[in-house]
């Protein structure tokens, strides 16, 4: 029987720790951590995610600022706002919600963010520090996954970990983290992607599969060996006659089929997604305490 990795339970514990630390900061007369979120356009998934971040900030006592632009905002206007946030001494960290409209160069925006305030961990300086094993902000989703492995004490040392997907947000940083010389890593890592031939031969040899390819129900039971740990990062909306909204959320893993073969598996929803926001707030707390950038 598999053990379900409960992201709600773990994220609640992480958020409670953050809440307690914020109380201690306030009692010591120190500054309340402050997170800002910048959203361009009206993408429903992005709006839901930003709203969830703001609500979570309220729950843990973190100050939040929401900056909203219409889809047709110019790149220059957005860059001016970033400059303003970089110079605002009250804002400890901020995020620019991705994806951005096509007329805005995403990389240019990421590089304009001050590394010490880049709590998403996407700036090249922070990515470089991650590669070199220096203190940095780890992107929220990979950071959340490491915390799940730690909470459930899932054995990782010397194991073969296959990461499916090579995005800068999840797959690539995840592969770096899983290879690190730390207790809940130390894996031999294979990074697979859409151009990998014979993907199944890699996944069948994997003790740990981290699926982050963005394709619904992509990982099936015939791709997973008995006793594997499966971490599903995907959040895909697919049509459904079973729900009022006409769609339902599924992961990159065909859960009902794969779960019986697993030792541990994350559900969607209720798995990795909840850890992403908790990890972002953990990074915000680090920014407020000046623990990464003194």
Per-residue pLDDT reduced to its tens digit, 85-113: 999 999 999 999 999 999 999 999 999 99
Partners of residue 34 on adjacent β-strands: 63
The residues that bridge with 162 in the sheet, in sequence order, are 190, 209
- 266 shares a domain with 151: yes
The catalytic position among 120, 207, 232, 252 is: 120
pLDDT digits (tens, 9 = 90+) for 212-241: 999 999 999 999 999 999 999 999 888 888
Q: Are residues 109 and 227 in the same domain?
A: no
**Same domain flag for 175 and 259:** yes
Report the number of distinct structural domains present in the chain. 2
130: pLDDT strictly greater than 90: yes
End residue of a domain, out of 114, 131, 158 = 114
Integer Cα distance of 185 and 157 in angstroms = 6
| Residue 226 annotated to the active site | no
Helices (H) and strands (E) in the chain, counts: 10, 11
Domain assignment of residue 83, yes or no? yes
CA 264/CA 282 separation, integer angstroms: 25
SS3 of residue 25 by DSSP:
helix
Q: Strand, helix or coil at 124?
A: helix
The per-residue pLDDT for range 58-72, each reduced to its tens digit, is: 999 999 999 999 999
Q: Are residues 160 and 251 in the same domain?
A: yes
**55 catalytic per annotation:** no
Q: How far is 54 from 222, CA to CA, in rounded Å?
A: 41
Residue 197 pLDDT: 97
Q: At residue 184, does pLDDT exceed 90?
A: yes
**Do residues 147 and 17 touch, judged by C-beta distance below 8 A?**
no
Q: Given this model, what pLDDT does residue 237 score?
A: 86
Assigned domain for 3 exists? no
Asked if the model's pLDDT at residue 18 lies above 90, the reply is yes
Q: Is the pLDDT confidence value at 246 over 90?
A: no
Report pLDDT for 44: 85
CA angle 37, 42, 45 (to 5 degrees): 75
**Distance between CA 247 and CA 237 in Å, rounded?**
6
- Residue 185's pLDDT is 97
pLDDT at 168 over 90: yes
Q: Given pLDDT bands bounded at 50, 70 and 90, which one contains residue 45?
A: confident
**174 found inside a domain:** yes
What is the band of 52 on the pLDDT scale with cuts at 50, 70, 90? very high
3-state helix, strand, coil in the chain (%, to 5): 40, 20, 40
**Predicted pLDDT of residue 88:** 98
Contact present, 276 and 231 (Cβ < 8 Å): no
The pLDDT tens digits of the residues spanning 260-289 come to: 999 999 999 999 999 999 999 999 999 999
Span 195-206, average pLDDT: 98
211 with 170, same domain: the answer is: yes
- The sign one gets for the Cα dihedral 106, 109, 110, 111 is positive
Q: What is the pLDDT of residue 26?
A: 96
Higher pLDDT, 55 or 1: 55
**Domain region containing 103:** 28-114
Identify the active-site residue in 81, 92, 97, 117. 97
Residues of the chain with pLDDT > 90: what percent? 92
Q: What is the mean pLDDT of the chain?
A: 96
Q: Is 120 a catalytic residue?
A: yes
Q: Is the pTM of this model over 0.75?
A: yes
Shared domain for 82 and 177, answered yes or no, is: no
Percent of residues, the chain, with pLDDT higher than 70: 100
Residue 137 CA to residue 127 CA, distance in Å, equals 8
CATH code of residue 52: 3.40.50.10860
């Amino acid at each position: 029987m598999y053990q379900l990795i409960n992201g709600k339970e773990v994220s609640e514990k992480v958020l409670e720790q953050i809440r307690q630390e914020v109380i201690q900061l306030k009692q010591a007369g120190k500054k309340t951590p402050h997170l800002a979120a910048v959203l361009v356009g009206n993408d429903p998934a992005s709006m839901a995610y930003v709203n969830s971040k703001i609500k979570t900030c309220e729950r843990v006592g973190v100050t939040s600022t929401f900056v909203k632009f219409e889809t047709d905002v110019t790149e220059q206007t957005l860059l001016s706002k970033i400059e303003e946030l970089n110079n605002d001494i009250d804002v400890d960290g901020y995020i620019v919600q991705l994806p951005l409209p096509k007329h805005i160069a995403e990389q240019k925006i990421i590089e304009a963010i001050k590394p010490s305030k880049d709590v998403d961990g996407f700036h090249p300086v922070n990515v470089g520090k991650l590669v070199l094993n220096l203190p940095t902000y780890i992107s929220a989703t990979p950071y959340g996954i490491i915390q799940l492995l730690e909470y459930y004490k899932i054995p990782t040392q010397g194991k073969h970990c296959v990461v499916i997907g090579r995005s800068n947000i999840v797959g690539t940083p995840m592969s770096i983290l899983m290879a690190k010389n730390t207790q809940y890593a130390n894996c031999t890592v294979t990074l697979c992607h859409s151009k990998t031939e014979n993907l199944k031969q890699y996944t069948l040899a994997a003790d740990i599969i981290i699926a982050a390819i963005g394709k619904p129900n992509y990982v099936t039971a015939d791709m997973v060996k008995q006793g594997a740990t499966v971490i599903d990062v995907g959040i895909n909306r697919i049509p459904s006659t079973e729900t009022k909204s006409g769609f339902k959320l599924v992961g990159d893993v065909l859960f009902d089929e794969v779960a019986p073969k697993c030792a541990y598996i994350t559900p969607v929803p209720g798995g990795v997604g909840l850890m992403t926001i908790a990890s972002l707030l953990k990074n915000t707390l680090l920014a407020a305490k000046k623990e990464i950038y003194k």
